[in-house]
Structure 1
Amino acid sequence: MEGGSGGDSQRFGKMVVESKFRRKRRRGGTTMILAGTTDTEGMMDQEEEEDDDDDQPADVLEDRKHQPADVLEDRKHRDGSIYRGTDYWSIYYRIADTNETPLKPMMLSDPTTDCRPNWSGCIVHSGCSMLQIFSLKLVSMAAPAIGDGPIQVYGFMAVRDHMDCLRNYVFNRGRDKPFIVNLSDPFILLSGPKRGFGMETPALLEYDIRIKRGDGEDDDLQLIDGAATISETELPPPYAQAYTRRIAGNYGAMNISLALLHNAIEATMHIQITEVRGSGGFNMSMACRVGQIPNEIKLFESVAIAKPCQLNKRFVLAIVKRGILVLDLKVKRSGASEEEDPVRMLRGLKAKAHSQVILPMIFDCATILVLQTAVRHRLAKVQGYLKAKKGSIR
């Protein structure tokens, strides 16, 4: 259906109203108790907020963790139907506008005269409801899609939120640079986002991902195509876990793991290798965890480093204010035997409203610096920025 309907209107209004009601109940966010900020020891259990769902049976909560995504029916990129919609979702999220969000991370990093008691320990600037995507995983494929060679996927997945309703990519690869899926570990490495996702109102997940097969695009197979809504009312409170939504397509299905974080702020990380010791260089992989949620966010895998450098990518995450961002870095010398395990190091960083932390991670073969900048992420401030820059997003 392309036309608007009373059902769409009632559904959208109900989600927004319930979203505001539930956010008001949990405005205080989740409390993380921490002893020290440079390792993961001393982290204690999260305070559980009072909620009606506390009385739900375990099997009910487990079912809520794994559900099909709330897909918009009859909305496809390949036939252009997603751009012709006149329903509330299409209009509100400006789906016909395929531009990427111009908003960047760290826009609100500077402390202000309003900070109390001081900028480094500010309790005035609170966080907000934010969405964190942990992973994309290929969970099933039809026999024609498997073929004889490696599985290569390309296309995009993006989130549209209330900040500017433009695409904020979490995965974006062209056909000439597809991602090769390892069937023994079928996670798809995220290439974004550009900035944090606000969840003051429902967000829209937009996707068009294909499987590369032959020499031309006509030989490729559609994995998933369309859009789905993500609402605060459809995600249970964060019981220190992420939730999975499945998106099914013609030739397979993908799981997206995500969580709704209350009183959250945006954290941006830069990675710099300041020293390489020995010859041959090394390979490194890095993942992280948000607070006590056990799901990993894979930042990069098996990156070969031969000399000091700065990685030309920044990593943007959402984390509960005063919560812990746990870094998991693995390093292995180039030329080492397959039987040799990489050296692993865990470190924890505490998130504050305005902060910059430089964390050295020292290995035998290298010294690696992690620069983390944490900022508040408030709608009113961003709207002021958009108004001043409105010409740049037309």
Structure 2
Amino acid sequence: MELIESGLAEMEIYLGGESSAKTRSTKKNVTKPRRFGLTRTGMPKTDRRPPQIRKTDEHRGEVQEPAPPTEEQEEEDDAAPPTEEQEVEDYRKYWESCFGRRHGSYDAETSLPPMYCATGTIPPDALPDSSLQFFSIKVADLSGLSWPLQVHGFVAARDSVDRRRNYLFRCSRDNCQTLTEKDPFLRLTGPSRAVLMIDPVAIEVQLKVKTTEESQDDEVLALACFKFRETYPLIDGLRACIPRQRCMLEFALAVLGSSLESTVGVRLVDGSWPDQCAGLIVCNTDKVKEGRMVLLDFKDGKLPTSSDGTVELSRRIVSVSYPAGKLFVSVEASRYGFSAQDTVNFGMKRSGTSTCTCDLVFCKMEVTVTWSLVSIYR
């Protein structure tokens, strides 16, 4: 019944509702349960027995072994594992039972904006906090499918700030992304605000492949619902691999124990972008140098800008380690063997904005970073 192979994760069931400020403030006085990594979520506790967890007797300093399984429990363990569709449906039922009354529709998107504590009166509860930073999501190891793929659907994260979907990737069926063997990465457009790791973060995946025959239903690429805990052992310190029936999903991510939210903005202030000149705007931090985040990739050479020169970035939100983290933003251009590149770096502020200019010879771009503390009491 586990989401991924034994040894990488164990089942865990949410037994309560929302975490509260009171629970958080007193957690040092509570004996913590064993912490797991990636686990399947959403099975109502009436559908299967809770996992047997080894517990420590604090008075005697001994370990109590779990009771042997009953005949009924052994028969349940031998049952066929749930399908990906059933996992998603189980999670929906769980979410609606625990959070539906307070947070509304299961399909609702988070409405909380970024830069909440950047300017004006800073709430007294605002502080640096643990966050989950997503760099990329790769589709690999196809089974029963072949490249290229016309992919639509979404990948979203839910944290304990509001339990609603914070989309990382989202494409409609009429606007699919084409994945190829040479470029199998989903074009991420989120998150829309920092994803906090106060509690385990739930990640939803619903991806399908558009078929060319109108009479045929779209094929499932990957369906999944799982929790990410900061103790999950990452490959190379950066990658988490999630096997599905039709493919492998490789998440490049990092857990930042203490961080601020930064919002990146870019504006063309001098010159112009050359025609048919491919461009790339990326960023990374000094704490996770190998984790490069693509903010905008325009291979067609058409720089998307508004009337005032503001560049329409695909992604804007970056978490940066506190207290002395640095953020690096690079703008790259290339055409017919010609290339130009400039990088600016920003030292951290607790709030407010920082501005630097990238000079690419043929144009200048103003890069602005807005720094914000985070708050779970919004």
Fold-level match, TM-score > 0.5? yes
**Correspondence for 2:311:** 311
Percent identity reads 20
**Correspondence for 1:170:** 168
* 1:118-137 pair list within 5 angstroms: 126-137=127-138
For 1:113 and 1:298, how far apart are their aligned partners in 2?
30
CA RMSD of aligned residues (A): 3.6
1:274 corresponds to which of 262, 265, 269: 269
The answer to whether the Cα contact below 8 Å between 1:287 and 1:300 also exists between their aligned partners in 2 is: yes
**Correspondence for 1:70:** 39
Q: Secondary structure at the match of 2:279?
A: strand
**Correspondence for 1:91:** 98
1:352 corresponds to which of 349, 352, 367: 349
Aligned pair in 2 of structure 1 residues 126, 346: CA closer, same or farther (>3 Å)?
same
Give 1:223 deviation, angstroms.
Answer: 1.2
Q: Secondary structure at the match of 1:298?
A: strand
Give 1:153 deviation, angstroms.
Answer: 1.3
User: Could you tell me the TM-score, scaled by structure 2's length?
Assistant: 0.71
Give 1:210 deviation, angstroms.
Answer: 1.2
**Correspondence for 2:198:** 200
2:185 corresponds to which of 184, 187, 210: 187
Structure 1 residue runs without a partner (length 5+): 25-66, 116-123, 383-394
Aligned pair in 2 of structure 1 residues 203, 90: CA closer, same or farther (>3 Å)?
farther
The answer to whether the Cα contact below 8 Å between 2:37 and 2:228 also exists between their aligned partners in 1 is: no
For 2:122 and 2:89, how far apart are their aligned partners in 1?
49
1:8 aligns with 2:3: no
Aligned pair in 2 of structure 1 residues 229, 131: CA closer, same or farther (>3 Å)?
same
For 1:251 and 1:243, how far apart are their aligned partners in 2?
23
For 2:92 and 2:14, how far apart are their aligned partners in 1?
18
For 1:298 and 1:306, how far apart are their aligned partners in 2?
15
Aligned pair in 2 of structure 1 residues 304, 146: CA closer, same or farther (>3 Å)?
same
Of structures 1 and 2, the one with the larger relative CO (CA 8 A, separation 6+) is 1
Give 1:188 deviation, angstroms.
Answer: 1.7
**Correspondence for 1:102:** 111
For 1:214 and 1:114, how far apart are their aligned partners in 2?
53
Larger Rg: 2
1:261 corresponds to which of 251, 256, 259: 256
Q: Secondary structure at the match of 2:199?
A: coil
Structure 2 residue runs without a partner (length 5+): 2-10, 29-35, 44-81
Greater mean alpha carbon deviation, residues 279-288 or residues 367-376: 279-288
Give 1:252 deviation, angstroms.
Answer: 1.1
Return the letter of the residue paired with 1:193: P
Deviations 1:227-283, CA, capped at 9 Å, x for gaps? 1101123367xx9x7432222223211111111112211100111112334863733
* 1:306-385 pair list within 5 angstroms: 309-313=309-313, 315-321=316-322, 322-332=324-334, 336-337=335-336, 340-380=337-377, 382=378
For 2:304 and 2:160, how far apart are their aligned partners in 1?
42
The answer to whether the Cα contact below 8 Å between 2:275 and 2:302 also exists between their aligned partners in 1 is: no
For 2:110 and 2:123, how far apart are their aligned partners in 1?
29
For 1:228 and 1:348, how far apart are their aligned partners in 2?
35
Deviations 1:47-105, CA, capped at 9 Å, x for gaps? xxxxxxxxxxxxxxxxxxxx99423374756897246524x796258796111001010
**Correspondence for 1:245:** 240
Aligned pair in 2 of structure 1 residues 126, 278: CA closer, same or farther (>3 Å)?
closer
User: Could you tell me the TM-score, scaled by structure 1's length?
Assistant: 0.68
For 2:309 and 2:118, how far apart are their aligned partners in 1?
25
Q: How many residues align?
A: 310
